[in-house]
């Protein structure tokens, strides 16, 4: 019997060898923590479909931002939950509005030690829950929405944000926001563009998290999950319009798209490991159906291996603690 002389298993023999030859590095600096901040909240409010994630009060959000900096995360992505919503999302533009206030708090807390990012979209602020304003037929009016995004970007920049994250999938949003930021004297504020954002069932828990009023769906502006090629088209357009980073969302059903964008552009690529992906692991873990911590590390490493330089994940703090050995694996 001829035994094999080529033995890939030699490089898997011990934890030390595996560590030596591991191709993909997962580090806290690559992780970004999304945070929900609720107007008027005194205490953090648990989100039932995302066990372990809360709607923060302004003061608990500050503490989370400080923990993120202490653990060496790459950044935080802020979402605001206003008390009042209306048809055009006016609270998004108000300098005292919850998202702009939360940006100011975060910057006051950590300065430049952590990248402070903000969601730039109207869905948390509109009473109909769509990502833009509606026309007479009830459709999202692309170009009227761009004007509001431009103003929203300037308001966020004035509040001190380092990087804005346009997530509404309006055509031309990156260019409109870039020129508004430049005209208003904020050329240093970067744009993390949600370039390939798919209409997804996996945003379900997020809708609870931000108290979304949406009836219907976003298929008229978010991408169809059958399509890969248009992700590259969207990303190249965004880069041409001035995007500094492009993002794919959700992550797990779209790892091919992450790889495709990594190969197509020369800016950093981010992936958003979304609420439903978090909830699945939380539910299975709570039932003892899988090992939650191992699943988290496998998922985050897999997203990085697919080509994401940056991963937005609700597990960012926990993963950073696991990586720094502050929690048993
Ligand atoms: C839109 C936005 C959504 C998410 C992030 N930004 C919701 C949507 O497009 O329906 C989802 C994030 C998640 O599910 O974790 N502002």
- In this structure, the number of other CB atoms found within 10 A of the CB of residue 90 comes to 16
Mean pLDDT in the chain? Answer: 96
Please report the pLDDT score of residue 329 as a whole number: 46
Confirm or reject: Cβ of 77 under 6 Å from ligand 1: no
Q: Which residue's alpha carbon is nearest to atom 16 within ligand 1?
A: 121
- In this structure, the number of other CB atoms found within 10 A of the CB of residue 74 comes to 22
Tokens of 47: 């989100």
For the chain, the farthest-separated pair of C-alpha atoms sits apart, in whole angstroms, at: 78
Q: How far is the CA of 202 from the centre of ligand 1 (A)?
A: 9
> Looking at residues 135-161, what average pLDDT do you find?
97
**Total residue count of the chain as it appears in this document:** 329
Confirm or reject: Cβ of 234 under 6 Å from ligand 1: no
- Report which of 81, 35, 56, 60 is spatially closest to residue 275, judged by C-alpha positions: 35
> Looking at residues 236-240, what average pLDDT do you find?
98
Distance CA 256, CA 271 (A): 12
DSSP secondary structure letter of residue 126: B
- Tokens 């011990």 found at: 14
Distance CA 102, CA 98 (A): 6
Please report the pLDDT score of residue 120 as a whole number: 98
Query: Which has more pLDDT, 212 or 6?
Result: 6
Tokens of 156: 């966020």
Q: Is 85 a catalytic residue?
A: no
**Percentage of the chain surpassing pLDDT 70?**
99
Query: Which of 142-164 are b and which e, b meaning 16 or more Cβ less than 10 Å from the residue's Cβ?
Result: beebbebbbebbbbbbbbbbbbb
- Please report the domains of the chain, with CATH numbers, ordered by start residue: 26-324 (3.20.20.70)
Q: Is 197 a catalytic residue?
A: yes
- What separation, in Å, do the N-terminal and C-terminal C-alpha atoms of the chain show? 41
pLDDT digits (tens, 9 = 90+) for 286-325: 999 999 999 999 999 999 999 999 999 999 999 999 998 8
- Report which of 274, 244, 248, 252 is spatially closest to residue 261, judged by C-alpha positions: 248
Please report the pLDDT score of residue 212 as a whole number: 87
């Amino acid at each position: 019997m001829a035994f094999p002389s080529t033995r890939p298993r030699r490089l898997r023999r011990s934890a030390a060898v595996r560590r030596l030859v591991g191709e993909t590095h997962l580090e806290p600096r690559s992780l970004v923590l999304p945070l929900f901040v609720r107007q008027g909240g005194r205490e953090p409010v648990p989100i039932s479909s995302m066990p372990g994630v809360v709607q923060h009060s302004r003061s608990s959000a500050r503490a989370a931002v400080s923990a993120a900096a202490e653990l060496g995360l790459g950044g935080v992505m802020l979402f605001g939950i206003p008390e009042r919503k209306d048809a055009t999302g006016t609270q998004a533009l108000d300098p005292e509005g919850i998202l702009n206030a939360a940006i100011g708090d975060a910057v006051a807390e950590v300065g430049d030690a952590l990248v402070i990012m903000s969601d730039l979209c109207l869905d948390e602020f509109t009473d109909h829950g769509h990502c833009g304003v509606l026309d007479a037929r009830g459709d999202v009016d692309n170009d009227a929405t761009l004007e509001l995004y431009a103003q929203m970007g300037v308001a966020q920049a004035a509040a001190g944000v380092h990087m804005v994250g346009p997530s509404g999938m309006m055509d031309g949003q990156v260019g409109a926001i870039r020129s508004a930021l430049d005209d208003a004297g904020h050329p240093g504020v970067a744009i993390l563009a949600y370039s390939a954002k798919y209409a997804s069932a996996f945003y379900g828990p997020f809708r609870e998290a931000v108290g979304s009023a949406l009836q219907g769906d976003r298929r008229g502006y978010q991408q169809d999950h059958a399509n890969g090629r248009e992700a590259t088209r969207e990303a190249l357009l965004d880069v041409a319009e001035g995007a500094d980073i492009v993002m794919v969302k959700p992550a797990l059903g779209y790892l091919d798209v992450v790889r495709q964008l990594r190969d197509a552009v020369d800016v950093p690529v981010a992936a958003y490991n979304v609420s439903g992906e978090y909830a699945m692991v939380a539910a299975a873990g709570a039932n003892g159906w899988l090992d939650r911590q191992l699943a988290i590390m496998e998922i985050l490493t897999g997203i990085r291996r697919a080509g994401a330089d940056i991963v937005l994940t609700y597990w960012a703090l926990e993963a950073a603690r696991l990586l720094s050995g502050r929690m048993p694996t």
